């Protein structure tokens, strides 16, 4: 399978190839000879043997970086390069995580597919080409946020932004990001819809992704990630832009530091502040206080997004 035919779907963003400097050097991990690829914004350490994928990594990551900045512009671009590790095997990944993240290793080892991001570092292992790149794009958003912003955001938004960056295609050799055409989340969304496995919106707003992973229930985990993806797509693109302005204000307030001030005010205005999570408070501050009415619109949109409604 060639990279130009990984995915198909409508084009949500222009295929603009970023310009960047690239240097290559040998890098070895535990006797496995790999490569260090240095670009304007990344240091890519990899042992993968898929040469075609390795060649496209710098362009893919720099294109992803542009996608992140289009979505959430940095306050300053004067930041150290982010470090991305892509290992050829799960065993190499596991050893690296155990050596470099000993305190978090008991949690990280529960990850079933792909990897994680922590601060400026992203640590992933190779799966199939398309899935590997999708995971890198997802974790890269976490990596970007951790490198450029010093603010806590609710898990639904954190994971929603990351899943929003997963869908892509290659057009004329250039990565094109397709947030509304995320094939990796569509099937789990369809499964949740057809098996009555959707999580209630208030639960989505209050849940931490780490809690879902540690529970170890694959169906619940898949539904959670599919629903936060669908929620983010709905807020940016659904209902003819009904919620897009509020979503944009939320992202702007992340940049200017006023997100938590507005969330606290919304929490107090709810009438039952002790029962309102941070995630729900942020949602109330920027989207709507009428959670029940929104949930019905959101459910209808998920049905449409899944292709169950013409």
Per-residue model confidence as pLDDT tens digits over 150-160: 999 999 999 99
For the stretch 97-146, pLDDT in tens is 999 999 999 999 988 889 999 999 999 999 999 999 999 999 999 999 99
Q: How confident is the model at residue 10, as a pLDDT?
A: 37
Average pLDDT of the residues of the chain: 91
Give the pLDDT of residue 113: 85
pLDDT, tens only, 52-66: 999 999 999 999 999
SS3 sequence, the chain? CCHHHCCCCCCCCCCCCCCCCCEEEEEEECCEEEEEEECCCEEEEECCCCHHHHHHHHHHHHHHHHHHHHHCCCCCCCCCCEEEEEECCHHHHHHHHHHHCCCCHHHHCCCCCCEEEECCEEEEECCCHHHHHHHHHHHHHHHHHHHHCCCCCCHHHHHHHHHHCCCEEEECCEEEECCCCCHHHHHHHHHHHHCCCCCCHHHHHHCCHHHHHHHCCHHHHHHHHHHHHHHHHHHHHCHHHCCHHHHHHHHHHHHHCCHHHHHHHHHHHCCCHHHCCHHHHHHHHHCCCCHHHHHHHHHHHHHHHCCCCC
Locate the domains of the chain by residue range. 3-152, 183-305
Mean of pLDDT values over 57-78: 94
Stated pTM of the model: 0.91
């Amino acid at each position: 399978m060639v990279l130009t035919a990984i995915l198909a779907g409508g084009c949500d963003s222009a295929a603009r190839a970023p310009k960047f400097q690239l240097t290559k050097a040998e890098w070895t991990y535990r006797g496995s000879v790999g490569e260090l690829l240095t670009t304007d914004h990344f240091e890519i350490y990899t042992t993968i043997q898929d040469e075609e994928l390795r060649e496209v990594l710098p362009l893919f990551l720099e294109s992803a970086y542009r996608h992140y900045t289009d979505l959430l512009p940095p306050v300053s671009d004067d930041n150290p390069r982010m470090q991305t590790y892509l290992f050829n095997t799960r065993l190499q990944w596991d050893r690296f995580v155990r050596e470099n993240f000993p305190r978090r290793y008991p949690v990280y080892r529960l990850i079933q597919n792909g990897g994680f991001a922590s601060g400026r570092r992203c640590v992933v292992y190779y799966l199939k080409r398309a899935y590997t790149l999708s995971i890198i794009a997802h974790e890269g958003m976490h990596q970007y946020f951790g490198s450029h912003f010093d603010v806590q955001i609710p898990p639904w938004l954190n994971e929603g932004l990351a899943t929003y960056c997963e869908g892509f295609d290659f057009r004329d050799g250039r990565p094109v990001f397709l947030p509304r055409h995320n094939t990796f989340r569509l099937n789990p969304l369809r499964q949740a819809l057809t098996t009555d496995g959707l999580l209630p919106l208030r639960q989505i707003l209050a849940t931490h992704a780490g809690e879902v992973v540690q529970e170890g229930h694959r169906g619940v985990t898949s539904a959670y990630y599919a629903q936060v993806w669908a929620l983010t797509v709905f807020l940016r693109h659904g209902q003819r832009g009904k919620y897009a302005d509020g979503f944009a204000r939320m992202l702007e307030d992340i940049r200017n530091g006023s997100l938590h001030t507005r969330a606290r005010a919304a929490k107090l205005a709810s009438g039952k502040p002790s029962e309102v999570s941070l995630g729900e408070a942020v949602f109330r501050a920027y989207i709507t206080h009428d959670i029940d009415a929104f949930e019905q619109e959101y459910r209808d949109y998920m049905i449409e997004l899944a292709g169950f409604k013409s």
